[in-house]
Each structure stands twice: as C-alpha cells, then as structure tokens.
Amino acid sequence: MSCDVLEVDFDARGAIASSGVVDETTIPCDDVVLAIGQENAFPWVERDIGIEFDNWNVPVVDPTTFESTRKGVFFGGDAAFGPKNIIWAVEHGHQAAISIHKYCQGANLSDRLPRGVNLTTAKMGIHEWSYSNDYDPAGRRIMPHVDLKKRFRKLNIEVELGFSAEDAATEVERCLNCDLQTVFSAGLCIECDACIDVCPVDCLTITPNGDQKTIEANLKTARLEPEQELYVSGPLKHTNRVMVKDENLCVHCGLCAERCPTGAWDMQKSTVVIPYAIDEAERDEQLCRETRKAG
Amino acid sequence: MPGNAKSRINDFVVKLANVNGTGSASANTLLMKAIFRMGIPVTGKNFFPSNIQGLPTWYEIRVSRKGYLARSGSVDIMVAMNQATYAQDLAEVSPGGTLIYDSTWPRESVIARPDIAVIGIPLARMCNERFAKTRVRILMKNMAYVGALAALIDIELKVIEKLVRETFASKQALIESNMDAIALGYDYAKKHFACPLPTRLKRLDKTAGHIMIDGNTAAALGCVYAGATVGAWYPITPSTSLMDAFRAFCEEFRKDPNTGERNFCVVQAEDELAAIGVVLGATWNGARAFTPTSGPGMSLMNEFLGFAYFAELPAVVFDVQRVGPSTGMPTRTQQGDILAAAHASHGDTRHVVLFPGDPRECFELSVAAFDLADRLQTPVLVLSDLDIGMNDWMCRELEWDPAYRPDRGKVLKPRTVARLPGRFNRYVDPDGDGIAPRTIPGGHPKGSYFVRGSGHNRFGEYTEDSDEYLEVVDRLRRKWTTAAKLVPDPVIRRTRKAGNWGIVSVGSCNPAVNEAIDRLAAKGIHLNYCRVRAFPFTRKVERFLDQHDYVFVVEQNRDAQLKSLLMLETSYPADRMHSILSYGGLPMDYRCVVEAIEEAYLAGVAA
C-alpha cells in the first residue's frame, strides 16, 4: 500500500492550519481493509431550542446527569463527549436512564445512589474456599485463529476458534483472582506469624506502630511503588503492634488466610456495586412504603 | 433427576465425608441418634484420621429395619463435604444413589455421574450470611446439612430439636444457632428439591429396650460396677475414652457426698510400663485396678505382664486394638493383638484373654475380668477394638444383678492368718486348682511375703533349684486348666438345617458374621456359628469344632491369629480350618464373609 507522508501545522485552537505532501512510503500488505473513521455531526438539532453547543460543535453535557443545557434532553455515547468505546456507551445509557427516571419523578438529578464495593467471605471450611486458589504458573494459552487466507476469502468469518477444553481449563487456573481481597481483622490476630512465614512474596510485616518512615524501615521487603499507600492495621491486641501489608507485592494467593488459625486473614470476594435505574426505582418504592406506614 | 426412583425405606447407608477438625462428629452423631430415636435400628461408624485437623474423615450411618449392625459395604447417600475427596466420594455412591455437596462453589462439571442424583446446597454461603464468626460458620455448616438431610430423608424435626436441646441444655444461645442452621438446610432442601427422596426413613418401634453406647464407656461402667478404685494409664488412641469415661463416672458416683473426697484414684503415668506398674502395686495392696491401652502400650507392658503372671498378681488390662504393627494406623480397627495378648512376655506365659463382641459385652466382661483376675491371681486382658470401643453400637439395655458380690478369690483375712498353725506360705495350693491363697499387705505380720519375678519356691523364697522351680510352674499350668473352666463360654448360634460346616469368630466380627449367616441361609447355605469369648478355650469351643467337618475362622488380622491359637490349643486339624480375614483397618462388612463362604461352598459342591 502506498501512502503519502503529510506534514501538518495546527493553529492555536488545535485545528489544522496547513498541510502538504512531503514524502511517499509503501507498506507491504496481504490485503487492505478500509476503515477511515467517522465524525459527530448535529446539523439536525436546531440551535435555538436551548441546547448549547461548544466550540467543537458538540452539545454541552453534564458529566454526572448526562443532561444537556436544556432540561429533559439527555445525550450519551459518542454524542455526549466525543468518540469512546461501546462499554462507555452502555454506561452512559445506564446513567441517562437514572437521570430520566429522576426527571420523571421530579427529583434532583444530581442526588444519585452511591457506588460501593461489597465484600463477602469466600471461606467454605477450614481449608476450603469457594474459588480455585491453586494458581497455575503455566504460560498464557495461545488462542488459535482461523488461517489468514481463509479470513481474506471471507471477511466476516469469526477469527478466534476458541480454546480446547484442556487449554480453557489451564487458562482459567492462571486467574490471579484479583476480585478476592485479603481482608484483615486486627481483633482476631494472635500474632503467631504464620501468615508472614507462609507469604511467598513477603508482603506482610508485624511491626511496632510509628511514623511512615519507621514502618517502612521495618518492612520485610523494600517497596517497589513508594507512591502506593501501605495497608496498616489497627493495634494488635497482644502487643499493640500493627500488621502492615504492601498491596503492590500481594499476589492474592490466599495462603495467609489458608494458614491463619483464627480467621484474622480472610479472602473476601469483592463485588462492585453500580446502581442502575431499577435500584433508584426500588429505593423510591421503599421510601413510598415507609412514608405510607409512617402516615 | 436421574437415578433409580425405587423407594428404599429404612434400609440404606448414608455416608458423610468431612474434613477432620470441623466439628462434624457431633452433627453426624446427632443424625444417627435422631434415627435411633425414630425407633429405627441404626449403626454409625466413624473412620477418622490420626490428625488434629485437615485430613479427610468419614462417618457411615447404616439404617437397617432388620437390625443389621455391620457395614454393608455400599453407600446410597453421600454427603460430600470435603473437596479433597470429591472424586473418591463420587465414585463410591451406588448406582441410583444420591450425592449431596456444598454448592457455594458450584461444580456441576466436576461432580456429576449419569447414574446418580447430585444435589447442590449452598451450605457455606447460607451460613456465612447467617453467622458472623468464622468458627461458628464452619460448625453450623454441619448442622445445616443435618437440616437438609432431615428434609431429604424425612428425619423428624422435633426429634432433632429435642436432641439439640439435650446436647446444649446449659447453653440457650447454642440451641438457637444450631436450630437456625438446621432450618437453613431444611428450608433450602424443601424449596428446591422433591422431598423426601425415595430413599428415606419411616418411624418404627424396633429400638425399644435398646441403647446406643460405645464399648469404652460400657467397659468403664463395668469397672465402676466391679468396684475398681484405681486406674493407671498412659493415653493412647483408641483407649483414651475408656479412662475419660471411668473418671467421669467416678466424679459422679465415687465422691463422698459429705466431704467431697474422691474414693478413687486415677494416675496418668509416664508411660504404659509405669501404668501397669501402678496397677500391680494397687492390686497387690488389695485394690481392684486396671489399665486401658492399645497394641503399642501392650508391647511396653510385656515385662510387667510376665512379672504379674509369675508373681501371681491380679490385674485387668483393656487392650482396645488398633491397626499394627508398630505405630500402625492408630485410628483404624483390627484384631491384631490376639497372639501377642495370649502369650505376652517371655518364658512360658499364657494369659487369660476375654473377647467382648459389642459394648454390652464390654460392660459384662469388664466385671467378669476383675472377678477372674482376683480368682486366678493373674492378669486378665480384655481385647476389644477400635470399632467396638469408639463407635456407638445399638445394644440391648445393660442389666445388673444387685445381688452381685465381687469374687475376691482366695484371700486370707488377717484373722485367719493369725490362726495359721505354722507360717504363711504364699505359693502353696491347698485344694489342687492351682491357686494359692494370698494375703493383703498390712493385714497381719505373719502374712507378709516377698513378691518376686525371679525363681521362687512354693514358700515364696528365692530358688534356682530345678525341682522347686518345676513345682511352681507346673502348678501355674494347673491354674490354667482351672481358668478354662471359669472363663465365659462361647456364644453358639445353631441352625436346624445346618450341616457339618461351621463358623468360628471373635469380637467385633459378630454383626458381619450374623448377617452373613442370614444372607447365606437365603441362598440355601446353612452354617452354625461359635463366637469365642475367652482364652483359654472352654470345653464348648472344642466340642463345637469336633461337631463340624469344616470350619471357617473369621477374624480381622492378616496372620489368622485366632486360627493359630485354635491350632495350638485344640486338637482340631488345621487343614479343616479355612480363614476369612479382613484387616484393612475398616470395620468388617458382611460381604467378605458371604463371598468367601459362597465360593468355598460352590467349590465343595463341585468336588
């Protein structure tokens, strides 16, 4: 494929001021698929109905409510903040739905349910967890693809063939289970050091409490990411020392929790809670019931 | 749901696979007791590891409307609570059976078999949501599966609740949490599955007049009833619970109600040799004393057992047998100490050995052992095993004759000693039964004598003179003949249709042999059965052997030790005895007896 090499100058606003061909280059290819992009354009929106447009000619949208400068009109997807991917578009849809629900209820659009993280223990028994914590150090499985020639012959063919049952089983065992958090309860700790002893990356330390510098000096392993905050527990009941964890080093293997005789270390599954319109609706209903009961 | 929907009422096996140290034992016992209280004959076998926490453990509950108490060798419902043994537990379920597991981590891909039904219940998840503390969650998970089983096999909830209330009578909070956990499992099963399963319970009235008791507790109770006041021991599985029970009974019944003084003495010695030393000191001084131990402890006691035999001191030793040799498998059952007990210690020694066949006989033979030890002035060894000693067996209620008076044997009172015309001679037998009267130290100065394990004459004096030595050891042989007349006779079961084939067996083989005899009879093979209860063998054992052309000797050891003893001590020809041996460490199941005899029968018929 032969291409012209352009030289471009931008003006103060960032728009192209001038350009010119300075060279030519050839890239060797088996085939070429044209995908040359798209653009937001809103010629169909009248400019006198109270919807304000910015200097890129896209509507001004509230980043929380997705409402435009005209009440009751919402934007989402590429139309809201320019080109993003489909995952963002789905999220915009959810947020706009919440806003529309609130708008219809006559409620304050900015008063939204909080996001959060739910932690539930994964412990099923003494040495039993509700997930596979036996990390497999095998290398990443290579996804088999349809032969290149076949792909060119039929452009809409699905490229990835999928893993074999064995490869799929190996691949899932490589999971680091980063949704499982190591959660510490200082009140249960008997300072037996079993977790420190078993930790394969030495990310745990029990040390007298003190300022950041003193604690850092006592760490079993020097920090690789000094900017990342250390976990420091409350005082342990026997010696008033503290449990310190360098989250950057932790591989979530769960061995500390597995070995802990009192359950002070626990592996807890974290679920991110993102409220949707239905949650807002349920809250409204509940409030309604409570008001009625009170009345 | 796949599987055979054929209804199985009051005749199936539930096996519970657990992790050791998770508190499953109390839940499993509760299950078994609940079934018992519904009037249904039941037996529970605990297969546990020699480990504090973490290794796999199983509890096998057999429900049998016909009252069979042996293992059946198959599993109809498996409660798989140990992910480390999922594969093994899955494979063990009989076709058409059911497997229940904790689906907090759903594993349909791993736990599946086309010919059984798999029931997943999120026990851990429900308990984690309901209970706050880690330890409580793990404990309550066990109660949750009890609840699920109650729904699935129709255990009456009010029976379970009553048991829970009895167990935690002093702890109201525990009653509530346990019942909560039971409700979690019960409600979930009711909501998600067709309850009850075709394999289920139905109230009967076949347990009246029976109790559930383990052999060690029953033996300890026997010690109390026999008037034992001294127990010395060194802890060893599976005999420890015998001393625990003795101490608990004594704390209750042997304390002076006014002064609170303990009228008993329990000594934990530094090892088993010291323990039997304490026992011999106590019995020499007139007390009834005993020591509970197991094979390794018996090995250590050998020196003093020989001493007691030769010095003629009474003693009762309980050997709750476990798997040998050496340390072996401490928590598995076997009958491997028969020869070692019969001939414990060096030189010409033979000991009186009693073989209880169930916990009820542990009680009865425990009392008999003290009487025999006093009467014969010699150690009496009671050989039970882990299966009898530590598992709960359904037995007829224990009975006690209030007219019982301990047989202290030939003991001269101080008054009698004082009136003796000459001196007191410790080892003179006045009436030809081989037993010489003894005195209790401190009674009368004339009654004093030296106790020695070295060569002695009939006066108790040191000797190296052949004739004097022979007089003593030949009298001991006469005493052995007397013993054979005093020890318990075998239990003989005769069938009218039986031909000239018989079974001789011992101890905990009994339920398996009895069931095998019934099952063989249904196939037209009829056998008589003699269960030996003592060594030396009484006349009735010899007579049973002589009445049969061919005898199967069923026992739980590799080397056919009972058969060896029969070969040594009877005139019955060895080539007419056929051994059936089960020695893998698990309680015997009836199948091995049925199969071996059927095979021999077919071969015999063909010949």
Q: Does residue B238 sit within a domain?
A: yes
Provide the residue type at B162 as one letter: K
Binary contact (A125, B22; C-beta < 8 A) = yes
pLDDT under 50: residue ranges of chain B? 1-4, 606-607
Q: Tens digit of pLDDT for each residue in B318-373?
A: 999 999 999 999 999 999 999 999 999 999 999 999 999 999 999 999 999 999 99
Cβ within 8 Å of B, A 248-267: 262-263, 266
- Identify whether B136 is part of a domain: yes
Nearest residue of chain B to residue A165 (CA atoms)? B109
Number of separate domains in chain B: 4
Quick check: is B206 in a domain?
Answer: no
In this predicted model, what pLDDT tens digit does every residue of A186-221 receive, in sequence order?
999 999 999 999 999 999 999 999 998 999 999 999
Q: Which residues pair with B60 in a beta bridge?
A: B15, B45
Whether B44 is covered by a domain: the verdict is yes
In terms of Cβ atoms closer than 10 Å to its own Cβ (0-12, 13-18, 19+), residue B260 is exposed
Closest CA–CA distance from residue B92 to any residue of chain A (Å): 22
Residue of B nearest to A258 (CA): B54
Q: What is the pLDDT of residue B5?
A: 58
Whether residue B18 contacts residue B300, with contact meaning beta carbons closer than 8 Å, is answered with no
Is B403 inside any structural domain? no
The rounded mean pLDDT for chain A is: 91
Q: Which of B396, B421, B442 is the last residue of a domain?
A: B396
CA dihedral A103, A106, A109, A112 (to 10 degrees): -110
Residue B415 has a pLDDT of 95
Residues B117 and B156 in one domain: yes
Q: Where among B365, B396, B427 does a domain terminate?
A: B396
Q: How many CA atoms lie within 13 A of A91 on its CB side?
A: 11
Query: Are B225 and B175 part of one and the same domain?
Result: no
Q: Once rounded to an integer, what is the mean pLDDT over residues A48-58?
A: 90
From B545, B504, B565, B560, select the one nearest B353 (Cα to Cα): B565
Is-contact A165 A235, C-beta < 8 A?
Answer: no
Q: Which of A130, A134, A190, A265 to mutate to test the interface with B (most CBs of B within 10 A)?
A: A130
> Can you give the CATH number for the domain in which B504 is found?
3.40.50.920
Regarding an ipTM greater than 0.90, the answer is no
Residue (of B254, B195, B238) closest to B1 by Cα position? B195
Q: pLDDT, tens digit, for every residue of A107-154?
A: 999 999 999 999 999 999 888 899 887 777 788 999 999 998 898 889
Instruction: Let me know whether B439 and B505 are in one domain.
Output: no
The residue segments making up the domain with residue B453 are 411-486
Contacts with A238 (C-beta within 8 Å, 6 or more apart), sequence order: A190, A191
Residues B58, B170 within the same domain: yes
> B110 to chain A: nearest residue by CA?
A169
Are the beta carbons of B128 and A266 separated by less than 8 Å? Answer: no
Contact predicate B266/B247, CB 8 Å? yes
Question: Which one of A133-142, A236-245, A281-290 scores highest in mean pLDDT?
Answer: A236-245
How far is Cα B446 from Cα B551, in angstroms, rounded to an integer? Answer: 54
Please check whether residue B129 lies inside any domain of the structure.
Answer: yes
Residue B303 lies in a domain: yes
Nearest CA to B512 among B345, B349, B388, B370?
A: B388
pLDDT tens digit sequence for A257-283: 999 989 999 999 999 999 999 999 898
With contacts defined as CB-CB under 8 Å, which chain B residues touch A126? 19, 21-22, 53-54, 138
3-state SS class at A27:
coil
Shared domain check, B374 and B349: yes
Same domain, B390 and B431: no
**CA count, 13 A, side-chain hemisphere, A258:** 16
Q: Which residues contact B221 (CB under 8 A, 6 or more apart)?
A: B245, B249, B363, B366, B398
Examine the domain organization and report whether B174 and B60 are in the same domain. Answer: yes
How high is the pLDDT of residue B605? 60
Q: In this structure, are B256 and B382 located in the same domain?
A: yes
How high is the pLDDT of residue A46?
92
> Do A126 and B138 count as a contact with CB atoms less than 8 A apart?
yes
Are the beta carbons of A126 and B21 separated by less than 8 Å?
Answer: yes
State whether A131 and B105 contact (CB < 8 Å): yes
pLDDT-based confidence at residue A56 (cuts at 50, 70, 90): confident
Distance from C-alpha of B548 to C-alpha of B388, rounded to nearest angstrom:
29
Q: Taking the CB of residue A5, how many other CB atoms lie within 10 A of it?
A: 9
Domain identity same for B219 and B170: no
> Nearest Cβ partner of B54 from A126, A131, A262?
A126
Among the candidates B486, B517, B538, a domain finishes at B486
Question: Is there a single domain that holds both residue B356 and residue B420?
Answer: no
- Which pLDDT value is given to residue B3? 44
Q: Which residue has the higher pLDDT, A82 or B528?
A: B528
Collapse the DSSP code of A256 into the 3-class scheme (helix H, G, I; strand E, B; otherwise coil) and give the result.
helix
CB half-sphere exposure, B290, CA atoms < 13 A = 34
The answer to whether B269 touches B233, Cβ cutoff 8 Å, is yes
- Residue B585's pLDDT is what? 97
Task: Supply the pLDDT for residue A295.
Answer: 66
The sign one gets for the Cα dihedral A89, A91, A94, A96 is negative
- B21 contacts A127? CB cut-off 8 A: no
Task: Give the span between the Cα atoms of A140 and B435, in whole angstroms.
Answer: 84
Compute the distance between CA of residue B64 and CA of residue B13 in angstroms, rounded to an integer.
9
B374 in a domain, yes or no? yes
Same domain, B146 and B219: no
* Whether residue B227 sits in one domain with residue B156: no
Q: Which residue segments constitute the domains of chain A, with CATH numbers given?
A: 1-111 (no CATH), 119-134+176-273 (3.30.70.20), 136-174 (no CATH)
